[in-house]
Amino acid sequence: MDFLEGAIVAIDKPYGMSSFGALAHVRYVLSKHVGVKRVKTGHAGTLDPLATGVLVLCTGKMTKQIERLQYETKEYTATLQLGATTASYDREHTVDMTYPTRHITRELIDSVLPQFLGDVMQVPPAYSAVHVDGERAYKLRRQSHEVEKQMQAKPVRIDEIEVLDFDAQTMQLQLRVVCGKGTYIRSLARDIGRALGSGAFLTALRRTRVGDIREEDCVDFDHVKEWLEGME
């Protein structure tokens, strides 16, 4: 691979790290490896800090492919906790409300999921990078501004939703989701909880595919240096 000329590298982003933080680390290792101050690098599609999985990085002239890659279909595995909500729709915040769950069955879940398939309108999370009045929504929210009512629904595409597991004792639901650009799985969790007459938030999220790039194609984040050395 000629990283200065241009290359596409997929890494497995670890839990708790921002996409930019992961990019910065890999760019530093790449730059040292090729002996330059800074290799031009960008990523094709942000992953939340609490999410793991496929993060596609482009270097050199291949950064021109970022916009195309962002439109590629993505696949996730998501674990939802039913019966409760958080302000961020994931584990970044503590539970703020609890809801009844005794009525939730696998049959009910199977009956509500089809309404989220196809071209649907989705309201992004308040804790997101969406702009509200020229400012990032998450920045306003962290300053205690109420932004939920100002969040505009956006069109997204969800191609597949498959139940991988449902534990009626713990009320945990694991899904496989195939979707298009701009889909927030956190918002999908929120909306599924509401459709079930309850609440829901994400406890785990992993991106398993971007286009034809799958998780098994990724370089382990902690071993990028060794991967580079193995290419010599």
**91 to each of 88, 154, 164, 188, how far by Cα in Å?**
8, 24, 21, 15
Per-residue pLDDT averaged across 48-69, rounded?
A: 95
Domain boundaries, the chain: 6-71+212-230, 74-210
Read off the tokens for 149: 């009512």
Question: What confidence category does residue 140 fall into, taking pLDDT thresholds of 50, 70 and 90?
Answer: very low
Query: For the CA atoms of 146, 152, 156, 160, what is the dihedral angle to 10 degrees?
Result: 40
Give the tens place of pLDDT for each residue, 109-132: 999 999 999 999 998 887 655 544
Per-residue pLDDT averaged across 209-225, rounded?
A: 96
Residue 75 confidence (pLDDT): 98
User: Half-sphere exposure of residue 212, counting CA atoms within 13 Å on the CB side?
Assistant: 2
Read off the tokens for 19: 């996409």
Homologous superfamily of 74-210: Pseudouridine synthase (3.30.2350.10)
Q: Could you tell me which residues are beta bridge partners of residue 210?
A: 74, 213
Per-residue pLDDT averaged across 50-65, rounded?
A: 96
Question: What confidence category does residue 133 fall into, taking pLDDT thresholds of 50, 70 and 90?
Answer: low
Whether 2 sits among the annotated catalytic residues: the reply is no
For residue 208, which of 219, 220, 216, 198 has the smallest C-alpha distance? 216
Residue 136 pLDDT greater than 50, yes or no? no
Read off the tokens for 230: 């193995």
Q: In whole angstroms, what is the distance from residue 34 CA to residue 97 CA?
A: 51
Residue 139 confidence (pLDDT): 45
- Proportion of the chain above pLDDT 70, given as a percent: 89
Residue 179 confidence (pLDDT): 98
Of 3-7, 29-33, 46-50, 145-149, the range with the lowest mean pLDDT is: 145-149
- pTM beyond 0.85, yes or no: yes
Residue 128 confidence (pLDDT): 52
Residue 149 confidence (pLDDT): 55
Of the listed 12, 48, 90, 191, which one is catalytic?
A: 48
Question: What confidence category does residue 93 fall into, taking pLDDT thresholds of 50, 70 and 90?
Answer: confident
CATH classification code of 6-71+212-230? 3.30.70
The DSSP-derived string for 79-137 is EEEETEEETTSSTTS-EEEE---TT--HHHHHHHGGGGSEEEEEPPPSSSS-EETTEEH
More confident residue, 1 or 166: 166
